[in-house]
Amino acid sequence: MKISLISNFLCAAAYTLSLASFTTDKKKNHAESETAGRTTIQASLYKLADSNKVKLSVDKSDDDKLKITLKDKSGQLYYSEVYNEKDSKYRRVFDLNDMNDGKYTFELFYNKQKVTKTVEIQSKNDKYISLN
- Secondary structure class of 118 (helix, strand, coil): strand
Domain count, the chain: 2
pLDDT winner (highest mean) among 17-21, 31-35, 59-63, 87-91:
87-91
pLDDT of residue 56: 95
- Per-residue CA distances from 8 to 1, 3, 16, 37 (Å): 11, 9, 12, 44
- Secondary structure class of 103 (helix, strand, coil): strand
Q: CATH number of the domain at 48, please.
A: 2.60.40.3080
Same domain, yes or no: 70 and 22: no
pLDDT of residue 130: 78
- Name which of 98, 110, 105 is nearest 120 in CA terms: 105
Same domain, yes or no: 34 and 45: no
Same domain, yes or no: 18 and 70: no
Per-residue model confidence as pLDDT tens digits over 25-48:
555 555 555 545 446 788 999 999
Same domain, yes or no: 27 and 77: no
pTM score: 0.64
pLDDT of residue 29: 57
Per-residue model confidence as pLDDT tens digits over 89-123:
899 999 998 899 999 999 999 888 899 999 998 87
Q: Which domain holds residue 110?
A: 40-131
pLDDT winner (highest mean) among 2-6, 24-28, 79-83, 86-90:
79-83
Same domain, yes or no: 95 and 54: yes
Same domain, yes or no: 49 and 82: yes
Same domain, yes or no: 19 and 47: no
pLDDT of residue 32: 56
- Per-residue CA distances from 58 to 19, 90, 110 (Å): 42, 5, 11
Same domain, yes or no: 55 and 119: yes
